[in-house]
């Protein structure tokens, strides 16, 4: 793998066409290689007092998904896990392909066609239709080492104009009424079998109507390169390391997120959150994804940008998969 940032689409991720070394310098079997390969996608959208989130995860053992909406203090969520006979496919190309988990309970689809992205969720309790285009936004594409022989590829955009709607509790809500902004994360590779991370994402609008996107994390992609950055009207600027301070016994209290190089200082106030905790022989996870508002500042190119009640997400995740 060529580590570092990519300026153009990478095409299909063809891990099964290549061998994987083991930590001792030999070659892993095809079965061990395939078992070590993991993928997930997340698509979210936020505006003032509104949030949508949906993720699909794939491992050698199967696929799972969650989706939720939060609006007017109403939180609606959906969880899915694949079984034999279900539709379960994950796109190997982040820019062209279809990821789908379909069960008797519900269907979740993430579709990419070049710059065009789409999320569809269909169930009795929750329906989401969300579309956006990345053609005016610089895309973060990054490959980093993961463990002694593995690698991780991540592709992200933040603060992209989105259209669509969602229906929860029988009430339909149009995203155009909120000028909502979307976030997309496609991550795949030989991710660490036991991992943890903290993450923060801002997707808002500045007083002069420029879009503001922020993506910072700790514990994911810091192996010589970072995924931390800020988008101003679609243009990406690199940021330094990120540190997170919060109350582990009260995750929905305020968070402090700040830069190791003094280039940003943020306070996050939670509106609500999606929480999942469980252990099994195939996967153990302690997962918390919160949504609310950010206040603080970011400095890029000697310019100080003030944040006041900008919507976004934070996340704390422990995963053994």
pLDDT in tens, 134-164: 999 999 999 999 989 999 999 999 999 999 9
Tokens linked to 199: 């993450």
The torsion of the CA quartet 166, 108, 274, 220, rounded to 10 degrees, works out to -130
Partner residues linked to 286 by β-bridges = 277, 318
Q: CA-CA distance, 305 to 19, in Å (whole number)?
A: 46
The mean pLDDT value for 273-288 works out to 92
> Do 283 and 311 form a contact (C-beta atoms < 8 A)?
no
The mean pLDDT value for 53-77 works out to 96
> Can you list the pairs that 82-89 forms with residues at least 24 positions away whose Cβ atoms lie under 8 Å?
88/58, 88/62, 88/63
**CATH level 3 topology of 4-320:** AttH-like fold (2.40.370)
Report the pLDDT value the prediction gives residue 302, as an integer from 0 to 100.
86
pLDDT at 33 over 90: yes
pTM greater than the 0.85 cutoff: yes
pLDDT > 90 fraction of the chain, expressed in percent and rounded: 94
pLDDT in tens, 249-261: 999 999 999 999 9
The mean pLDDT value for 59-85 works out to 95
Q: CA-CA distance, 123 to 101, in Å (whole number)?
A: 12
pLDDT in tens, 197-251: 999 999 999 999 999 999 999 988 777 899 999 999 999 999 999 999 999 999 9
In sequence order, what E strands does 134-263 have?
A: 140-146, 150-168, 171-174, 181-189, 194-205, 211-218, 229-232, 235-238, 242-245, 255-259
> Do 244 and 257 form a contact (C-beta atoms < 8 A)?
yes
The whole-chain average pLDDT of the chain stands at: 96
> Do 20 and 190 form a contact (C-beta atoms < 8 A)?
yes
pLDDT at 283 over 90: no
> Do 56 and 65 form a contact (C-beta atoms < 8 A)?
yes
pLDDT at 69 over 90: yes
What's the longest Cα–Cα distance across the chain? 57
> Do 30 and 22 form a contact (C-beta atoms < 8 A)?
no
Report the pLDDT value the prediction gives residue 135, as an integer from 0 to 100.
94
**Taking the domains of the chain in order of start, what are their residue ranges?**
4-320
């Amino acid at each position: 793998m060529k580590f570092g940032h990519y300026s153009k689409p990478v095409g299909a991720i063809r891990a099964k066409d290549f061998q994987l070394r083991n930590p001792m310098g030999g070659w892993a079997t095809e079965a061990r290689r395939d078992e070590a390969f993991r993928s997930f996608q997340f698509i979210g959208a936020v505006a003032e007092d509104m949030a949508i989130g949906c993720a699909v995860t794939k491992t050698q053992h199967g696929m799972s998904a969650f989706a939720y909406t939060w609006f007017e203090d109403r939180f609606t969520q959906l969880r899915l896990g694949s079984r034999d006979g279900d539709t379960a496919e994950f796109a190997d190309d982040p820019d062209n392909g279809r990821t789908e988990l379909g069960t008797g309970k519900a269907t979740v689809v993430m579709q990419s066609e070049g710059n065009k992205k789409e999320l569809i969720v269909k169930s009795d309790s929750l329906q989401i239709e969300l579309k956006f285009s990345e053609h005016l936004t610089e895309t973060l594409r990054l490959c980093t080492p993961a463990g002694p022989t593995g690698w991780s590829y991540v592709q992200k955009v933040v603060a992209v104009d989105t259209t669509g709607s969602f229906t929860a509790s029988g009430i339909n809500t149009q995203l155009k009424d909120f000028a909502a902004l979307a976030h997309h994360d496609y991550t795949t590779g030989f991710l660490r079998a036991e991992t943890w991370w903290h993450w923060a994402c801002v997707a808002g609008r500045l007083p002069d109507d420029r879009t503001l996107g922020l993506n910072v994390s700790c514990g994911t992609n810091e192996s010589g390169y970072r995924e931390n950055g800020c988008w101003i009207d679609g243009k990406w600027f690199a940021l330094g390391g990120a540190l997170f301070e919060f109350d582990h016994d009260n995750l929905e209290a305020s968070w402090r997120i700040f830069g190791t190089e003094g280039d940003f200082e943020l306070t996050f106030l939670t509106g609500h959150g999606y929480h999942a905790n469980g252990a099994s022989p195939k996967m153990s996870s302690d997962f918390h994804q919160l949504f609310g508002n950010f206040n603080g500042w970011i400095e890029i190119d000697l310019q100080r940008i003030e944040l006041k009640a900008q919507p976004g997400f934070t996340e704390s995740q422990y995963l053994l998969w």
